[in-house]
Amino acid sequence: MNFDVAFGQYCEGDSILHRLDPRAKIIMSLLYIVDVFLAKNVFAFALLTSFTVAMAVLSRIKPRILLRGLKPVIFIMIFTGVINVFWYRGAEGAKPLVDWWIFTIYPAGILNAVLIVLRVVLLIAGTSLILTYTTTPLALTDGLERLLSPLAKIKVPVHEFSLMMTIALRFIPTLIEETGKIMDAQKARGASFSEGSLVKRAKALIPVLVPLFASSFRRADELAVAMECRCYRGGKGRTRMNVLKATFKDFAGVIVIILLGVSLVLLNKYTDAFALGF
């Protein structure tokens, strides 16, 4: 596994989604989030779902990986689902489906629960498809820096933030390796990291974290000297080897997401008559 470049969720690939300009993808995922909240009825959701599935197919990312990304939010999905099933009544005077003891379930409640859970699923799957699964963290930082560069005019240190991100990403594998070494060294002196109570295990990590912290400072110092030696003096007057160039497909991508939003609004409006319980 290419761990260091693939830090985060990035999946190697060469699909159209992978090849889009990171700036376009950042804008697209923001617009997509808006789109997801624009969908109000079954038809709009149907369109949104098919669009997201189409993106998944285009990205050639395995459904298994996509589903794995949903795992952390399973609890939220169940929770919101259950709440909606029991508390949503729908239109005034609707007949309950089940009415037993303190449980009253309306048909609209079930539909609403399904749609809300679907919304969470689409939100996560869609944004990860556009952004995190198909963009390397580096490209992402680069895109963010370029997108935010106008802020530099009002003295926001955009370049510095982006460099911090880059260096952090660069040093993650190095520090992981070092942590392993220190843990081995402590184990060789009889430290145990997997036994005892939670508090005991947490305490056992202190002799690992302190040297790791100390060595990070030394590394930072050396890196700063090395950077100065390589004529680094901030973002001013710097050029870039790889200049991002937005092409037709990047604009097309953004327009597609906008059109999706427009269609959702129209669907909400003109199919409302058929909507069930909304």
Partner 1 sequence: MSKIIKAENVSFSYEGDTPEERVEVLKNISFEIEEGSFTAILGRNGSGKSTLAKLLCMINLPDSGRLEVDGIEVTREDVTEDEIYEARRDVGMVFQNPDNQIVATIVEDDVAFGPENLGIPSEEIRKRVDGALEAVGMSEYARHSASRLSGGQKQRVAIAGALAMKRKCIIFDESTAMLDPLGRKEVMKNILRLNKEDGITVLLITHYMNEASLADRVIVIDNGGIIMDGRPSEVFSEVDKMWEAGLDVPQTTELLQRLRDAGLDVPKDIFDPAECAAVIKAALADRGCAI
Closest CB to partner 1 among residues 197, 239: 239
- Residue 185 Cβ vs partner 1, minimum distance, rounded to whole Å: 18
Query: Minimal distance in Å, beta carbon 276 to partner 1?
Result: 51
Q: Shortest distance, CB of residue 149 to partner 1, whole angstroms?
A: 15
102 vs 241, beta carbon nearer partner 1? 241
Q: Hey, which bits of the chain come out as E strands?
A: 98-100, 103-105
d(CA 130, CA 123): 11
Q: Which is nearer to partner 1, 5 or 74 (CB)?
A: 5
User: How are the residues of the chain apportioned to helix, strand and coil, as percentages rounded to the nearest 5?
Assistant: 70, 0, 25
Using only the alpha carbons of the chain, give its radius of gyration. Answer: 25
* Cβ closest to partner 1, residue 189 vs residue 240: 240
From CA 78, how far away is CA 86, in angstroms rounded?
12
105 DSSP β-pair partners? 98
Spatial CB neighbours of 91, under 8 Å, sequence gap ≥ 6: 108, 277
Least distance between partner 1 and beta carbon 62 (Å): 23
CB of 17 to partner 1, least distance (A): 20
Which stretches of the chain bind partner 1, using CB under 8 A?
2, 4-5, 138, 166-167, 169-170, 173-174, 177, 218-219, 222-223, 225-233, 237-243
- Looking at beta carbons only, is 210 or 225 nearer to partner 1? 225
CB of residue 163 to partner 1, shortest distance in Å: 8
DSSP of 1-14, one letter per residue? Answer: --TTTT-SS-----
Distance CA 12, CA 141 (A): 17
Q: Which is nearer to partner 1, 71 or 218 (CB)?
A: 218
List, in order, residues 6 or more apart from 7 with CB less than 8 Å away: 137, 169, 172, 173
